Amino acid sequence: MLFGIRLMILLALMGGAIAYIADKLGSKIGKKKLTIFGLRPHKTSVLLTVLSGMLISLFSVLILAASSNSARTALFGMERLQNQLRTLNAESKAAREEYASLQATLKNKNEAIASLDRKIKEADAARLQAEESRQSAEHSLKAARLQFEATQGQLVAAREEVKGLQAARDELDREIAKLQERTKLLNEGLIHMREGQLVYRSGEVVFNGVLEGGRSNEENENQMRWLLESANNAALNHIGVDSKEKIELIWVPRSEYESVRKQLAGYKGQVLVRVRSLANTVVGQPVVCQFEVIPNKLVYAKDQVVYQKVLNVANKDTTAEEILLNYLQEINHVSVEAGVLPDPMTGKVGNISAITVVEIQEKMRHLGGQVMLTAYADSDIRTAGPVQLRLEVEKVASVDESVRRW
């Protein structure tokens, strides 16, 4: 900045000096009326003044060029600078145009990126919506499947129930037909007995069967079939008809049959099943029966003492036959108390042969006086019976009559 101020002062002083010199020179030339190149003094003065101004300008330029590199460049390198400036302007214009193009490209890219972002967001939203729709569809499908399976199960159960009802209806129809056929055959004289004769009384045992519990369904079915066949044969024999005849005299309700078959599956060990008449039955009628199921437990083991008593054979008030009969009645009572089922009609638990009775009576008479009569189980005796005994008699010296039970 100081350099510029000094330069301006220098130019002003130099211009002033040159002007002063030119003025003085012009005045002298005017006074002396000097001429140059044959010009008039006035024009010569004007020429000198012009030359002075030119000199001032020239010296100003020379001083500027000598004192400043920028001034020299401005004076002598202006065309080159202008060329460079035009080149730079052209490059600048090209750069601006390229910048504008890049800006436009960048704007397009940004718009494309923004568009892609919007599309991505829309795609994400659509994907989330599709995922929700898929999950909802899966839940709906699962619920529909479950409902379908439940409906199918209900349909299958309904069909099975219908089949079961149809089978039960068919079975009842067959049983009714069989009953009608049996009634017809019996009424036509297959059983040659007096009309109105009582065959079975209500509650009378038609047949006793010992079955095994805890078996498979097929085995239980076979056991039940055997029980009915045996009961039917026993009923036919009871009324004097050959069991080979294809007559079904026994009739049991299907519900009763199924109930016993199911009970067999729950029992362990032997089971006594009694086939009992449900009502008084006369000739010409089927025997309607029911089942009585009782666990067939062991009551007396083989050779176990069932009953033992000291008897006085010497008592003249009673005979050996009466004493033995009372003894056997007491055994019957003891056995029932121990768990052996008696016949519901007779109340007996077993029979003893007439030969055995006669032999025991003879022994008692032979020994005379007081004897010990002991009844042993001839084999394992269970709830179903019968009570089969082995009787032994021995002499007793002299003891009070007593009773011991096992």
pLDDT, tens digit (0-9, with 9 covering 90-100), for 210-231: 888 888 888 888 888 898 888 8
Q: Which of 44-48, 286-290, 293-297 has the highest mean pLDDT?
A: 286-290
**For position 92, what pLDDT does the model report?**
80
| CA atoms of 292 and 272, how far apart (whole Å) | 8
| CA atoms of 76 and 82, how far apart (whole Å) | 11
pLDDT band at 406 (very low <50, low <70, confident <90, very high): very low
Q: Two tokens at 290?
A: 């029911």
Q: What is the mean pLDDT of the chain?
A: 77
pLDDT, tens digit (0-9, with 9 covering 90-100), for 104-155: 888 888 888 888 888 888 888 888 888 888 888 888 888 888 888 888 888 8
**For position 247, what pLDDT does the model report?**
77
Q: Cis (ω within 30 of 0) for the bond into 342? A: no
**For position 66, what pLDDT does the model report?**
67
- Look at the alpha carbons of 69, 72, 76, 81 in this order and tell me if their dihedral is positive or negative: positive
Q: What is the mean pLDDT of residues 264-290?
A: 83
Q: Two tokens at 379?
A: 């084999």
Between the CA atoms of 331, 334, 336 and 338, what dihedral angle is there, to the nearest 10 degrees? -130
Asked whether the predicted pLDDT for residue 289 surpasses 60, the reply is: yes
Greater pLDDT, 4 or 251? 251
- Phi, psi dihedral angles at 340 (to 5 degrees): -80, 130
Greater pLDDT, 338 or 18? 338
Cα 96-97-103 angle, rounded to 5 deg? 85
**For position 239, what pLDDT does the model report?**
78
Q: Residue ranges per domain, the chain?
A: 2-76, 191-296, 299-405
Greater pLDDT, 27 or 342? 342
**For position 404, what pLDDT does the model report?**
44
Asked whether the predicted pLDDT for residue 22 surpasses 70, the reply is: no
202, 291 contact by CB (below 8 A)? no
pTM score > 0.85 for this model?
A: no
pLDDT, tens digit (0-9, with 9 covering 90-100), for 42-89: 676 677 677 767 777 677 667 766 666 665 665 566 677 677 778 888
Asked whether the predicted pLDDT for residue 194 surpasses 60, the reply is: no
183, 285 contact by CB (below 8 A)? yes
- Phi, psi dihedral angles at 210 (to 5 degrees): -100, 120
**For position 74, what pLDDT does the model report?**
58
Say which amino acid occupies 109: K
Greater pLDDT, 27 or 152? 152
Greater pLDDT, 146 or 16? 146
**For position 285, what pLDDT does the model report?**
79
Q: Two tokens at 153?
A: 């199960």
Q: Two tokens at 22?
A: 């030119």
Q: What is the mean pLDDT of residues 359-381?
A: 84
Stretch (H or E) spanning 290: strand 287-295
What's the DSSP call for residue 340?
A: P
| CA atoms of 201 and 76, how far apart (whole Å) | 159
**For position 399, what pLDDT does the model report?**
47
Q: Name the strands in the sheet holding 287-295, side by side, starting at the edge strand that comes first in the sequence.
A: 205-213, 269-277, 287-295, 250-251
Q: Count Cβ neighbours within 10 Å for each residue of 340-353 and write b for 16 or more, e otherwise.
A: bbbeeeeebbbebe
Terminal-residue alpha carbon distance, the chain: 151
* Residues in Cβ contact with 291 at an 8 Å cutoff, skipping those fewer than 6 apart: 252, 256, 257, 259, 260, 273, 274, 275, 276
Q: What is the mean pLDDT of residues 150-168?
A: 82
Query: What's the chain's length in residues?
Result: 406
Asked whether the predicted pLDDT for residue 276 surpasses 80, the reply is: yes
**For position 176, what pLDDT does the model report?**
75
Asked whether the predicted pLDDT for residue 191 surpasses 50, the reply is: no
pLDDT band at 33 (very low <50, low <70, confident <90, very high): low
Q: Which of 180, 190, 178, 188 is nearest to 228 (CA)?
A: 178
Asked whether the predicted pLDDT for residue 17 surpasses 50, the reply is: yes
Say which amino acid occupies 262: K
